[in-house]
Chain A
């Protein structure tokens, strides 16, 4: 099974994998070889790629996953290796997001999303 991760800036990786776990909008999905064709909306969270008995972890934020012909393509706007996340920076961002003033439903939604993203990132960073 081939696994491709692309952001608008670069192809993060394109390599064979035995198993891929991704955070979808409502929870985690595991994709094993020969998975049925699928298009899924990604949430914010961890992506695990297992190959040759070794598992690499990434943080992926938003986007889509498409499974077709034993190829898992992940289109996301942001993908970083879990080891590159800085916990202190993220904690600061979370604090800033939480203390943002929101006075109408749209602003509240925007704020909640920022808080949610920061929390997901922090979660991945702490597991590293």
Chain B
């Protein structure tokens, strides 16, 4: 009976695992939907801000701002890496970490001082493992990063950049393109680039706006605002991508578990039948011997 029992035990443990992966899949599906709604809202906001910049550009204003000025020889750079707090999401964390480490090495050759800021337990342990010192660690950005939390970071970067304590800010995160496509990327957020203003299509409205205080005055505020929103968007994208990655990974795991369970069931049944046949043969053999 030994073999059949081992098979049965394995089958039970796998169906336990299946329960976990199935639950995780459901949870991440729900979280993904929520995160997606938030990302859509933020995208709508970004669109409005970009449209605003478009209106400004159309009023004949030269788009220039201290945050937009390139700094040819960056000395003080910061790299922000956004990873998840948890695993079970296939290559999601590994992808971001790979990009982050590569950019860190690259920055270290250019800049004299590179500060590394990592969000997420997975990223923190990965950088520790590589013996790369982390300057700031965050673990409080879960699947629902709030604008107020991200704004604290944005404010600090803006202050440092204006005060000359920061020349360049890079963010490594997973960009969410669609449900089937996410990509780990590194983006330079400071010095800032305003989205392609020239490519905006001005259909319909040829409205003359009144600017209060002036087009230039609005621009002074638009640029930092766009930066804040862009940084927030990075966090949201990372959150959405993590949920998608987990959803897909857990779906695959559940399917694999199903397949394995059916294999094991078959093996178990066969083993059980074999044992019964064996026992019958023994009984028949014993009876024959007695009669003989």
Contact = CB atoms under 8 A, between A and B. Distances in A.
B207 A9 contact: no
B228 A77 contact: yes
A9 B210 contact: no
B55 interface: yes
B225 interface: yes
Nearest to B164: A106
A37 B42 contact: no
A24 interface: yes
Contact of B45 (A6, A38, A66): A6
Interface of A: 6-11, 24-26, 29, 36-41, 62-64, 66, 68, 73, 75, 77-78, 104, 106-107, 110
A2 B143 CA distance: 33
Nearest to B44: A6
Interface string B212-235: 110001100110010011001000
B273 interface: no
B189 to A, nearest CB: 15
Interface stretch (B115-123, B146-154, B257-265): B146-154
B209 interface: yes
B38 interface: yes
B210 A36 contact: yes
A24 B207 CA distance: 21
Contact of B207 (A37, A77, A78, A107): A37
B159 A39 contact: no
A106 B162 contact: yes
11 contacts: A8-B41, A9-B41, A25-B217, A26-B213, A29-B212, A36-B210, A38-B212, A41-B213, A63-B225, A64-B225, A68-B207
Contacts of B162: 106
Interface in B186-242: 205, 207-213, 217-218, 221-222, 225, 228-229, 232
A66 to B, nearest CB: 7
Given A62-B221, A68-B207, A77-B151, A11 B55 contact: no
A37 B148 CA distance: 31
Contact of A39 (B46, B52, B147, B229): B52
A64 B221 contact: yes
B45 A37 contact: no
B225 A39 contact: no
B5 to A, nearest CB: 55
Which 3 pairs between the two chains have the least Cβ-Cβ distance? A40-B212, A38-B210, A106-B163
A79 to B, nearest CB: 11
B238 to A, nearest CB: 15
Contacts of B210: 36-39
B49 interface: yes
B270 interface: no
Contacts of A25: 212-213, 217
B41 A39 contact: no
Given A26-B213, A62-B225, 5 more contacts: A25-B212, A25-B213, A39-B212, A41-B218, A77-B225
A68 B211 CA distance: 12
A8 B163 contact: no
Contacts of B218: 39-41, 64
Nearest to A78: B148
